[in-house]
Amino acid sequence: MTNRLNKNETLERIVKNMDITPTMYRNAEDKYKALAKYLGDNGLECDIYPQGSFSLGTVIKPLKEGKRKEYDLDFICVINNKGDLEAKKFREKIWEILNQNENYSKRIKEYDKCFTLEYSEINGTGFNIDVLPAKSYINNFILLINKIDKENVEWFKGNPKGYSEWFKSVNDRYPQAQKINEFNNSLIAKESVEELPDYFDRTSLQRVIQILKYHRDYFYHMRRKENKKVISAIITTLCTKIAETTNFTQLNTIDLLTYITSELCIYAQLLSRDNLDQRYTNRTVIKKINCKWEIINPVNSEDNLADSWNEDIEKPKLFFEWIEEIRKEFAITNEKEYLSNFSNIFGKENLSDEMKSILGASQIVEPMKPWRK
């Protein structure tokens, strides 16, 4: 590739358009603090804190049915004064209180593990707050709720705070890919609610995870396999485990992406056998034991993130096909081919004028052949 196009700068420019905006940040913060106050005022002593991509700084606007939809923001709601209730009654109590409020009752939807509050669009983009009811357990673990069917609700163990701390311990070693100072001093004092992370610092690791999640949505949509797409927890865990074991912590986004995808490609050997080649025996982030896939949650040894791979053999196959496609795409050296591919995946509107000039006004090609199935 010539000097006209810096691949890392190109990637940085595009990926920042996937991120949550300052307006959305403020709005989400206001909403979840108001929710905590409402529950407290109505007899539920609770602590609410972000989890998943929102706590890790890896939020992207998801792709559903080929279109970019609302941000899904997850929050753990630990109720401190109803721990004696069985799971079903615990869930029903929270549902009842939320539905007593007109603002929440018109927005709320019920799912197996959460209640979702759907908010209207701001500047063309909406967001959903997923509230995951929970109670305290032991050793920093919490018990969350899973609705099996209409009559049966069970507890399951989780450690979202521990996961966030683990991710942060690795992420802090990596250089910032973007820094915006607008809100660095804007956080207000917390009152039984944990603050959202500073969304305007991004490391190369966070950017890589965002890129992979965005690309994943596109790949599985084009394959018409959205119901089989790899979950974000697997992407985040694998990237972070690989990043944890390397000494190359000064890698920029494109170089870290190349390194991580190359490492993941090695594990494709496990599609046909239980063990990697002898030269790769130190690679352990994905395991296969007695024909069973294992990707263990780093803070909960009982949680195998790859359980669904053992129930559907197509899922690991698609995962490694996807990883190989990414590896190939980011190795492209021809400028026009590289940008044409970017345009198809991320949208021409996210290209700079310089990129469009290199590409040409009408130089948009079809996606790569494996996606035309």
DSSP for 96-143, written as a single string: HHHHTSHHHHTTEEE-SS-EEEEEEEETTEEEEEEEEEEEE-STT-EE
Both 52 and 145 in one domain: the answer is: yes
Range of the domain at 249: 204-356
Given a contact cutoff of 8 angstroms between Cβ atoms, the answer to whether 195 and 184 are in contact is no
Q: Looking at the domain assignment, is residue 261 inside a domain?
A: yes
Number of domains in the chain: 2
Mean pLDDT of 147-169: 91
Split at pLDDT 50, 70, 90, the class of 349 is low
Given a contact cutoff of 8 angstroms between Cβ atoms, the answer to whether 323 and 316 are in contact is no
Write down the mean pLDDT value for the chain: 84
Q: Looking at the domain assignment, is residue 361 inside a domain?
A: no
Q: Looking at the domain assignment, is residue 95 inside a domain?
A: yes
Mean pLDDT of 153-163: 93
Predicted pLDDT of residue 187: 36
Q: Which of 48-62, 92-106, 275-289, 330-344 has the lowest mean pLDDT?
A: 330-344
Q: Which residue has the tokens 């209640």?
A: 115
pTM: 0.86
Give the range with max mean pLDDT: 81-90, 125-134, 290-299: 290-299
Both 239 and 327 in one domain: the answer is: yes
Per-residue model confidence as pLDDT tens digits over 17-48: 778 877 787 888 889 899 999 999 999 888 99
Q: Looking at the domain assignment, is residue 240 inside a domain?
A: yes
Q: What are the angstrom distances between the C-alpha of 16 and each of 21, 151, 234?
A: 9, 44, 22
Both 336 and 222 in one domain: the answer is: yes
**pLDDT at residue 185 is higher than 70:** no
Predicted pLDDT of residue 334: 80
Q: What are the angstrom distances between the C-alpha of 121 and each of 23, 28, 111, 209?
A: 11, 12, 22, 25
**pLDDT at residue 182 is higher than 70:** no
Per-residue model confidence as pLDDT tens digits over 204-237: 999 999 999 999 999 999 999 999 999 999 999 9
Split at pLDDT 50, 70, 90, the class of 60 is confident
Q: Which of 186-190, 259-263, 329-333 has the lowest mean pLDDT?
A: 186-190
Q: Which helix (H) or strand (E) segment is 196 a member of?
A: none
